[in-house]
Chain A
Amino acid sequence: MTPFRRLPPSRREAPETDLTQRTMPSIKVASLGLAALIVSLACLAGTPARATGLEEALRGLGSKSRKTILRSIKDLGRAGDPAALPALEALRDRKLRVDEQDRVLILADDGTLARDALTGEEVPVAGQRLRSPVINNRIRRTLLPVIARLQLSSPDPGVRLAAAKEMVKRPRSGAAGAIRSALETERDGKVRQALRLALALIEIDSPDPVRRISAVRTLGASANANVRARLARMLQTNESGEFTAEPDPEVRAAAAEALRSIDRRLALVSLARNLFYGVSLGSVLLLAALGLAITFGLMGVINMAHGEMLMLGAYATFLTQNLFRSYLPEWFDWYLVAAVPVAFGVSAVMGMVLERCILRHLYGRPLETLLATWGISLLLIQTVRLAFGAQNVEVANPAWLSGGAEVMQGFVLTYNRAAIVLFVFFAVALVWVLLRRTPLGLRVRAVTQNRSMAACMGVPVSRVDMWTFGLGSGIAGLGGVALSQIGNVGPELGQAYIVDSFMVVVLGGVGKIAGAVWGALCLGVVNKFLEPYTGAVLGKILVLVFIILFIQKRPQGMFALKGRTAEG
């Protein structure tokens, strides 16, 4: 026999200190006591005086006990009084406060004024000790449908649409009456559609099979994954194959038909979604790699410090943001636009300095270039770390880049990703114009194609090198602006992209900008179509294997440079 037995897995040790000894003003104990008090008070006062129900429920919203808050929300939901809406919305947005006299206040946006939730009178709150009720996800799940129901009568169609969508998300049988009466007066087509969907989700549980069939048909016209799950539940069977959820065979047939049509639509949505995700991933890769396509592709410099140019661009964005925050707060949402030239400039200057001071002494010696640029990259990382700290810095998304639009049901086009796709068009166009339409571009191309011949023709080869390297670095800086909108900005930002960037350039074909574009897009789309089947880790490995095989077959990449220099 073993002398020591393990505790059963779920049993925990009892509190080790006596409750009375514990100095912690245990939130739990205190709030439990208060809850008990409030509940008992509510029992005493609640039932006879229903007229003061609103007042009491509003007061309950500010309670320290979550049980009381929950009950108050339910009471307000049952009462359906629109007067309670501001307080409920304030609770949702964490704008509800309780002052020392236990008044429930709604904080105004600037935080210095508040309105009493009951009387509506204005109360100055500066310098007061205010307590805010703590709510959790369970309370929010009760709160949101109640708010949605009250918002159905809002004059703003946008608010009504959001409310109707909330009701689709969390159908509550009690809301059926409110939805029906809202449908009678509703004129906006989108809201009507969402409301009908919400109603169908309630009526699908109706005891009347005719209603159920009509509800199923309404649901079949949507492409909502939640709706699909609800319909699938109707066709559940037990082990012996009997249908357990839906007794009526006609309803089942309608449900099966509706499921098929939803599935068809979902497949289409999924295709569109994967395509967008692929293009979006490709754009990110392209932005990271475009600068390298110039410095490595055109000039042949194996630039390991390329990632750090991205990083510098991102930090330039961060600094621009801070400047806007302190000096131009009213224009804050547009700081990104200003950050574009700033980031380009910072990275380009840094690139030119590097080229002048170090790289030009190493042309033609790839191994030394590799080591030197790698050293520079470490140097830059540590410098930034010393200047800004090892911590990531915060770069906020401007309001117009947060969120997304539901372009199809079940496919949300996120604004930041969409903006990056557009931005990459801009960057590629910029590079194309610079290389094809300017005297500098002409010289760059001349030097790339035949260096000594260009020199003989009077092209200042060395200066062109400097400008080209500056251009490549500046484009990398633009990439940094974009990357700051989707991820972290920290000293190691560039390290994550350096391998991907080289992959894109090598796959696309060294020396061709178009190659980088196609390389990046192919990598993105292939990656995104593989990911659902293989997972992100295996997907990445498969893409790498694919690139290696491709390069074996076609060492010059997708686009080969035509002419004599291609042999090198």
Chain B
Amino acid sequence: MKRSRWLKTMVAAATLGAILVGPSHGARAEDVIKVGILHSLSGTMAISETSLKDVALMAIEEINAAGGLLGKKIEPIVVDPASNWPLFAEKARELIEKHKVAVVFGCWTSVSRKSVLPVFEELNALLFYPVQYEGEECSYNVFYTGAAPNQQAIPAVEYLMSEEGGGAKRFVLLGTDYVYPRTTNKILRAFLHQKGVSDDDIMEIYTPFGHSDYQTIVANIKRFAAAKPTAVISTINGDSNVPFYKELANQGVRAEDIPVIAFSVGEEELRGIDTAPLVGHLAAWNYFMSIDTPENREFVKKWKSYVKRHNLPGGDKRVTNDPMEATYIGIKMWAQAVLQAGTTDVDAVRQAMGYQKFKAPSGYEIRMDPKNHHLHKPVFIGEIREDGQFDIVWQTDGPIRAEPWSPYLPDSATKVADWTYPWVCGNCTEPKYK
């Protein structure tokens, strides 16, 4: 039949192509170092993750322009897990087994990280994870360049309780119903108890994904806030933020009455929305585009020119944000570690990663903790401006060490993440070697 013959031809052509491409691929593999980039470029998370892919390519281009690594060029392999969590694991396996990448930069949501974790541990590969997360994890195969809760959430609450932050006595913990807000709020509740805030003064509210009707919730917050100075700690995810802030503004709640501090609203999220109702509300991050340091000015300039050169969608409206800075730091640090180790071998690079220092765009010399694989990061609190940027209203004295296991939760308080002798464990209550 006509169709089957056509099919056969196609199969033959494909096989031939594979044979032709195969060896040349292998030959090229020796003079390049392959790195994997595992970010969703389609689906719901594309909004946030696309710019991480872009900034990763920018960092790699920069390293290649400076002569590459160990005399070789870096070749980025970009795959699209399409916001589909199980697909993340498949694509990670493909990157490691098929493309033999030296390292993977990727993931955004905690569930995607949890999905790829077994793959990286089984194949002993390296993942650099660039987004703030809920902690309670420390894998031998992951370097966490985003914030742990004590590098974002805890300082934010301390700020709100301080006189400068408004001296909040009551707290509304408002989030989307999934793992990151639930865990963060559990930690925050335990922290607030320790600070003497009783359960009567904490209101915890969750909404389904994509929730857009915040009328009742805002009215309840207003009533709750009548008795004492109140602050809202929002872990609302992406798309629901706009309806929430719009409702707040329309019902006449202003930032100076009830400030809302958000952990997932950054420059990139503010780009697509009408910022007027959000002005004056707060966000806590380890980096803001508006930070005025020579390093950041250069970083922003590089990004703008990269966007222009490659004609990326969005053009001069593109911004930098915290996870982008974390991605950039991760790649640069990995390159430093490879240079120091003289190889891209996973075990050697992992050893070299500890104590790596990098002058980050935030202006601080950021250091990788050899014990818990997290960065020491400074914390900034910014107030949203009309132009979608932030005024920095508070910052820590310097970088803070991450605490992946929260000391405020009874289950995790006794756990230690320490990959150096004698612990050699990310999840233990006593050292492996006594």
What is A's interface to B at a CB cutoff of 8 Å?
Answer: 2-4, 6-7, 9, 12-17, 22-28, 66, 94, 134, 136-138, 140-141, 144, 169, 225-226, 228-229, 232-233, 273-274, 277, 280-281, 284, 382, 385, 389-397, 402-404, 406, 410, 412, 414-417, 486-488, 490, 492, 495-496, 528, 531-532, 535-537, 540
Across the A-B interface, give the 9 residue pairs with the lowest CB-CB distance, nearest first. A15-B398, A24-B363, A392-B272, A225-B226, A414-B250, A229-B227, A140-B256, A390-B46, A9-B407
Stretch of B60-68, B132-140, B160-168 lying at the A interface: B160-168
What are 5 A-B interface contacts by the 8 Å CB criterion? A390-B46, A391-B272, A410-B222, A412-B252, A486-B246
Contact between chains at B243 and A393 (CB < 8 Å): no
User: Complex: how many Å from CA A532 to CA B362?
Assistant: 43
The reply to whether A403 and B272 contact each other, CB–CB distance below 8 Å, is no
Quote the shortest CB–CB distance from B151 to chain A (angstroms): 10
B42 close to A396 (CB less than 8 A) = no
Cα–Cα distance between A397 and B431 once the two chains are bound (Å): 58
| Contact of B12 with A by CB under 8 A | no
Contact among A4, A17, A134, A396 for B431, CB-based, below 8 A: A4
CB distance from A488 to the nearest CB of B (A): 5
Q: A137-B259, A141-B166, A492-B44 in contact; A15/B397 too (CB < 8 A)? A: yes
Question: Residues of B contacting A169 with CB < 8 Å?
Answer: 257
Q: Is B358 an interface residue (CB 8 A)?
A: no
- Chain A residues positioned under 8 Å from B276 (CB to CB): 396-397, 402
Q: Are B239 and A487 in contact (CB under 8 A)?
A: yes
Which residue from chain B places its CB closest to the CB of A92 in the assembled complex?
Answer: B256
Whether A486 lies near B243 (C-beta < 8 A) is yes
B325 at the interface (CB under 8 A from A): no
Q: How far is the CA of A284 from the CA of B214 in the complex (A)?
A: 13
Contacts of B397 in A (CB 8 A): 12, 14-15
A536-B242 CB under 8 A given contacts A16-B367, A391-B47, A392-B272: no
- Min Cβ gap B149→A in Å is 11
Q: Contact: A537 with B259, CB < 8 Å?
A: no
CB–CB B47/A134 < 8 A? no
* A28, B208: Cα distance in complex, Å: 40
- In the bound complex, what is the Cα–Cα distance between A406 and B250 (angstroms)? 11
Q: Which of B85-93, B331-339, B388-396 lies at the interface with chain A?
A: B388-396
Query: Is the pair B401, A13 in contact by a Cβ cutoff of 8 Å?
Result: yes
Beyond A412-B250, A537-B207, whether A528 also contacts B50 by CB under 8 A is: no
Instruction: Give chain B nearest CB distance to A263 CB in angstroms.
Output: 12
Say yes or no: is B423 at the interface (Cβ < 8 Å to chain A).
Answer: yes
Name B's interface SS.
loop
- CB of B312, distance to nearest CB on chain A (Å): 10
Min CB distance B145 to A, Å, is: 17
Q: Which residues of A contact B431 (CB under 8 A)?
A: 2-4
Contacting residues, chain A, for B211 (C-beta < 8 A): 536
Docked-complex contact A536 and B217, CB < 8 angstroms:
yes
Please name all residues of chain A whose beta carbon is closer than 8 Å to the beta carbon of B395 when the two chains form the complex.
27-28
In the complex with contacts A390-B50, A492-B44, A487-B222 CB distance below 8 A: no
CA distance A365 to B102 in the complex (A): 51
Quick check: B42 and A6 within 8 Å, CB to CB?
A: no
Point out the residues of chain B lying under 8 angstroms from A390, CB to CB: 42, 46-47, 50
> CA separation between A495 and B83, bound complex, in Å?
15
B226 touches A226 (CB 8 A): yes
Chain B nearest CB: distance from A409 CB in Å? Answer: 12
Given contacts A136-B164, A169-B257, A385-B42, are A393 and B364 in contact (CB under 8 A)?
Answer: no
B216 and chain A: residue at smallest CB distance: A531
Task: Chain A residues near B423: list those with CB within 8 A.
Answer: 4
Which residues from B are CB-within-8-Å of A233? 227
Known contacts A136-B383, A137-B165, A414-B250; is-contact A537 B206 (Cβ 8 Å): yes
Cβ–Cβ contact B226 & A136, under 8 A: no
Q: In angstroms, how far is the closest chain B Cβ from the Cβ of A469?
A: 27
A385 contacts which of B46, B205, B259 (Cβ < 8 Å)? Answer: B46
**With A22-B364, A277-B213, A487-B243 already in contact, 12 other A-B pairs whose C-beta atoms are closer than 8 Å:** A2-B431, A94-B385, A137-B165, A229-B226, A229-B228, A389-B314, A397-B246, A402-B249, A486-B212, A536-B217, A537-B177, A540-B208
Contact status of A488 and B242, CB under 8 A, knowing A4-B423, A17-B364, A414-B250: yes
| Contact indicator B223/A225 (Cβ below 8 Å) | yes
B43 CB to nearest chain A CB (Å)? 8
* Distance (whole angstroms) from the CB of A380 to the closest CB of chain B: 14
Residues of B near A416 (CB, < 8 A) are 246, 250
Minimal beta-carbon separation of A483 from chain B (angstroms): 8
